Amino acid sequence: MLEPSLEYLKNFEFESGDVLEELKMEYATFGTAKRDDNGNVTNGVLFIHGSSGDYGSVKRFKPIMGPGKAIDTDRYFIICTSSLGSGGSSKPSNSGFGPDFPKYTVKDMAHAQYRLLNEKLNIKHLKGVVGTSMGGFLSLEWAIRHPDFMDFIIPIVTGPSVRGRNLAMSVLCNSMIENHPDYQHGRYSHNPKDVLENVSKLEFLFVFADSYYHKEFSDDEELLLAFNEQGVEGGKVDANDVVWRNHAAISYNLEPELSKIRAKTLIIGIKGDNFFPPELDAIPLSKAIADSELFLYRSRLGHLGINEVEKMETPIERFLSQF
C-alpha cells in the first residue's frame, strides 16, 4: 500500500503572477533509489496521473511494474505526485481560499512538480517522465521547459493541445457548473452535487469506444445503472476543483513548441479513444517530436483502455532497455 507524504513549497508563483506563500504537494515513492556522491537520486521516474486521479493512480501499472518487470523497480525509483489541483495537493477546496485560489495552468502543474523534485527530493535529473491523459500534457510540458532534465518521456493516451470536442466539453462543463444557481460564483454553502453528477454523466458518454455502449452491457437497465453510478461518483468532487482543473485544460496548447523536445519519446495511443483519437493526437505528435516512437493498440474500453496495461508491456519494456 502506498503511503503518501507531504512537502510545502514556499512562495509559489503561478503563471498568472499570483503567489501562494505555501503550496502543499502530496507524493509517494517506491523502488530502489540510486544516488550520486552528492546524495542526489539518479534513477528517478516521475509518474503523472490523469485529470481525475492522484498519486495512487500509479497502481494501475502494477501488472507491469515491480522487480524484474517491464518497469523494473530494481532499476528505477518511482515518484508519483498528486498534481497541483488534485488529491491532497493544494487546490481550491483544501486550501481555505475557495474561489480565491489562483487559476493554474498545465505549466504551473509541471513547475510545482519540478520544485518538489529539485528542492525537496534531491532529484536534479530524471531517467524519465510517464504521464497518462492530462498527465501526458504534463510529460510534454516537462520535456519542453526542462529538455535536459530527463532521458525519456512516455506520454500515454494524450495530446499536444485541447481542441475540438475536448475543448467544447471542458467549456460546456464549466458553464454548466458556473451557471448553476447554487454555485454562487464559487462561494457556495453546499456543493452543487446535482450539476456535478450531470457533468460526470456527460463524460460517461465519451469515455468508452462507441461500440462498447451497444455491445458490452447486457441490457438497457445495466447501461443506465452504470450511467447513474458514474453520476453519483462525480457528485462527490468539489465544484471549484473541477472548474479550476478544466480551466487548466482549456488553456493548454503545446503544438507550437514540440520541436523543443529532446528526450527520447514513446507515444502510446488507443484506437477507439474518443478523447484522444490517434489520428488526431498520437500520430501527429509522433511526427512533431524528432526522436519518437509510436505504439497504438485497440481497446473496446476506449479512453479507459489505459487500464489494459498488459497491452503496452512489450513496447515499454523494449523502449526502457535503452536506459
Q: Which residues contact 180 (CB under 8 A, 6 or more apart)?
A: 192, 194, 195
Please state, rounded to an integer, the average pLDDT across all residues of the chain. 98
> Which set of grid coordinates corresponds to residue 145?
521547459
Mean pLDDT (whole number) for 272-286: 98
Per-residue confidence (pLDDT) for residue 147, from 0 to 100: 98
Query: Is 273 marked active-site?
Result: yes
**Assigned C-alpha cell, 14:** 503561478
Q: Catalytic residue among 133, 170, 200, 292, which?
A: 133
Which helix (H) or strand (E) segment is 292 a member of? strand 292-298
pLDDT band at 129 (very low <50, low <70, confident <90, very high): very high
- Model-level pTM? 0.97
pLDDT on residue 69: 98
Rg of the chain over Cα atoms, rounded to whole angstroms, equals 19
Domain residue spans of the chain: 5-161+253-320, 165-248
Mean pLDDT (whole number) for 285-296: 98
Cα separation, 124 vs 132, in Å, equals 23
Mode of pairing for the β-strands spanning 77-82 and 65-66: unpaired
Q: What digits encode the pLDDT tens for the residues 20-75?
A: 999 999 999 999 999 999 999 999 999 999 999 999 999 999 999 999 999 999 99
pLDDT at 29: 98
Please give the Cα distance from 289 to 262 (Å, whole number). 8
User: Among residues 54, 86, 292, 303, which one is catalytic?
Assistant: 303
Where do the DSSP E strands lie in 109-187?
Answer: 126-132, 150-156
Average pLDDT over residues 123-150: 99
Which class in CATH covers the domain with range 165-248? mainly alpha
Q: Select which of 82, 273, 281, 292 is catalytic.
A: 273
Out of 3.90.660.10, 3.50.50.60, 1.10.3720.10, 3.40.50.1820, the CATH code matching 5-161+253-320 is 3.40.50.1820
**219 catalytically annotated:** no
Instruction: List helix spans (H) across the chain.
Output: 92-95, 106-115, 134-145, 164-178, 193-207, 210-215, 220-234, 239-250, 282-288, 313-320
Q: What is the pLDDT of residue 1?
A: 77
Q: Please give the share of the chain, as a percent, with pLDDT higher than 70.
A: 100
Question: If you count them, how many residues does the chain have?
Answer: 323
Over range 224-241, report the average pLDDT: 98
